[in-house]
A and B are shown apart, each in its own frame.
Chain A
């Protein structure tokens, strides 16, 4: 019944490494999102995509980039990982406007940068 899959549940990376977080959805959703979840800060939007090869910056895009080459896959890239990027990363998708349809979330990837 899993519909939004994040490839890794836990990741440990070294400072300066390039990190790829992968997300795949099987619901043919148009919109996909990357959030980070931190205690006391809630969820903050990093990037989102409303179509293949389209992307828009969220509230905290610095230090991140994304790739959406296929409709079902949305990748988050940390170009040079830093310790302040240690966090839980959540991928979500939405059939249409989230205002109307809400999100379906993945189970998250807990990234630790050492």
Chain B
């Protein structure tokens, strides 16, 4: 079965500090991975996807196939980045995504 692990349930950083949200996955093949974000009282939305290699809201994520990781990074955290973040690789088939347990990021002033 495909697995995805987000080891940190809670993460707090100060404004302006770098932030890294960890994601490790098990997947055979070349995965397409996503990060989703849920801000307070908003719906879950796509933050970024590996294949596009975009930087959205200053976040980037590099796929490390050797370590099977897809960590989300931002060099300077902002208070508005406080949210729940989910890593999502493919599930048992390409027809579904599997979500990690999520990391609640709090950026302190």
Contact = CB atoms under 8 A, between A and B. Distances in A.
A92 B36 CA distance: 13
Contact of A31 (B44, B95, B99, B101): B95
B46 A102 contact: yes
Contacts of A84: none
A99 B94 contact: yes
Contact of B95 (A43, A50, A92, A105): A50
B95 A90 contact: no
A103 B95 contact: no
Nearest to B104: A39
Given A48-B96, A97-B94, A40 B46 contact: no
Nearest to B47: A102
B96 A58 contact: yes
A105 B45 contact: yes
A100 B34 CA distance: 10
Contacts of B74: none
- Chain A contact-residue range equals 20 to 34
B96 A33 contact: yes
A108 B97 CA distance: 18
A77 interface: no
B86 interface: yes
Contact of A100 (B6, B32, B102): B32
Given A97-B94, A105-B43, 16 more contacts: A40-B101, A42-B86, A43-B99, A50-B95, A56-B95, A58-B96, A97-B95, A98-B94, A98-B97, A99-B90, A100-B32, A100-B94, A102-B34, A102-B49, A102-B97, A103-B97
20 contacts: A31-B95, A41-B101, A42-B86, A42-B101, A45-B98, A48-B96, A50-B95, A59-B91, A92-B44, A97-B94, A98-B90, A98-B96, A98-B97, A99-B31, A99-B94, A102-B49, A103-B36, A103-B44, A106-B43, A107-B43
